[in-house]
Structure 1
Amino acid sequence: MALWSVIVYGRTKQADYRFLAIPDDFGEEEQNWARKYIHGTTVHRERLPGNPRWSLFKNHQHCVFGVTCMLQELIGSERKYEYMAKDGGRRSLHIFVGYVAQINEDFNSLRILPVLENLEFFKYRHLFTSLEKLWHLKSYQLINRKIDEYPYNFKLPNETELRDNFNEFIPCLEGENQALIMPDNQENRHNLWENCCKFFDYPYKYIPLSLCLGLPEKRDVLEGPFLNATASDATQYLKLSKRKSKELNEPSKITEPDNRNASRTKHNSSYSISRRRLPIRMILLISIFVGLILLVIWKKYTLAIQIFMSLLVGLCVQNVSGK
């Protein structure tokens, strides 16, 4: 017989939703894996009151099954814990409570749990006292505090054999990129649960599998993590392709410069440069003119004046070519 641990995902009076209890072998990778499915059960939270959602998900290492419901429904007649049903802003809280088993040689003895849809089954011993201990802690206190860990030492009662007359079919498995959706009624819930339980035994027990009973809409299945589910708006048995989550890859917006402004800028720049070059040209021309006069007057300095004139002409040509 498999031994089970517990898993709780909820919030306190002032701290946001997080794991409040996990098995003692749950590291960050296992928490991320479980969190994905737990979040998938909390869509349309406004429809949760009076409509608990039951889920099961497993991979090659762990099997988790539990319930997502309003905390007030789980507290029930335990009146001394009613204050934990609402947060500091008086908003009603929901919670996920479940059990976790390791996939090992003992796991193949698991059968249908007839009390699956019984909230009393998920009130494990010390649940409320554990929540009470965490209730007044703030976010920064929980961040620096290790999550409560529980060993695998729970024995779940009332394991029974599969029914002989249930409608057999193959549920959707990981890698198929498909989802099985059934109308949400008691018979379909039992059929889906029992067909998925066939994959707890050898040679299927290491195959990843997931199901959720009681999701509000078909879209929640197609866009969520679960591969098998009952949905309130489904009217017939459906097997549809899963939808990939939308990723917003908006290209960065590049503003093109105004051509008129660019032309105006270029024109102004050229005009400014031309104005700066005008005095230089005037100086060169005057220098050449003076040089010619000196060449006529002082013939004995002809060589020196010719060298000077060559330099001036060279500077003039360089200035014009750099325009």
Structure 2
Amino acid sequence: MEDKQVKEKVVFSNLRYYFLLMQTYELMEEIAHLIPASGIYRESRKIKVNRYLSKSGWVLNKFEGKEEDIKPHEECESYVSPAVKEWEKLDEILCKLNDITVTVKKVYRKINNCTEEKILNYVEYNGLKFAYAGKPSDLKAVEDFLKMQSVSMNERILGLERTNIILDPEATAHVFHQFMSFLKGDNSRIKLGERISREITVYDDPLSESLIGFSTFDDEGVKTRKKEIIGDGTILEYLGTLTTKNGNPGNARGILPIPDYFNLIIKPKDWGFQELIQDTKNGLLVLGVKKSEIVKNSIRIFPRNSMLIGYGGAVVREIAIPLQELVTIDAISKEVKSVYIDDEHGGISPFIRLKARPIVY
């Protein structure tokens, strides 16, 4: 009897070791594209790999060796979005749209025994982009929204120095999208406990079902949760995985997972937008973003449109925001908007005011 118990323990130990050592990652996408004047076409793609957890991280080639202890974490659970039911009538929905480019993906993701099925929608009109997770039947409302947002300005101004700048929700989200790259657990460059403006609180929320980054588990099979990354201006947490030195698991993304956020949620405050405009003297309003990037320790925003408050349109090539200028955030609106950051990340953010330097030429 005693020998049997010992044998069972050994078998269980081996199974557990095998589970931690190897994972099967599977991704299948059915994709429908709507191109103006060209119609609808479809494609699909499938990825399936076995990967192994080595001491230095995930690898695709099997290796010999004993695995180190794994960080404590919550196991994933399977999920199917209600929006998947609309996939069968997708052509009927797309045929009602005009002048916009649309991509709709039905995504099936499986890590070991956990599966997730969801619908991701990407829309572009006149250079403006928007993305969301959920029902394709909402695409018409997105089309109407983008057409209302399509404006252009062409006045030119020169000679602006460091000044008050109001960033719209899209620009605000891009600033903190770039800031997140300093908080990755495999290469964190800002210490926990450091402070920026006490006005700002930022969450990563993978469970915000309408945003494009919606995921019930990450790409290591760890159950996701809403995380407060910055609380009242203090850095509280890093983006971590099972293999990073810093940060709790739950932010792994990719076939060979690296730490990344899913959806940015920036907490609103009590300023009304019109109140913010009236209180900002000789300031600049940034409307939309063409792209953003990091240059050394500075975040660069390339605006879609800009306005010199009280004077009209302005041509501004980029806005330079050194990291230390984040301490100058002194006003945050109560109005928020769901915004497009990129094809992998969603956001809900307000207007914010800070000091920065417009580069005008």
Which bin holds the TM-score, normalised by the shorter protein?
Answer: under 0.3
TM-score computed with the length of structure 2 as normaliser:
0.21
* Higher-RCO chain (CA-CA 8 Å, sequence separation at least 6): 1
TM-score computed with the length of structure 1 as normaliser:
0.22
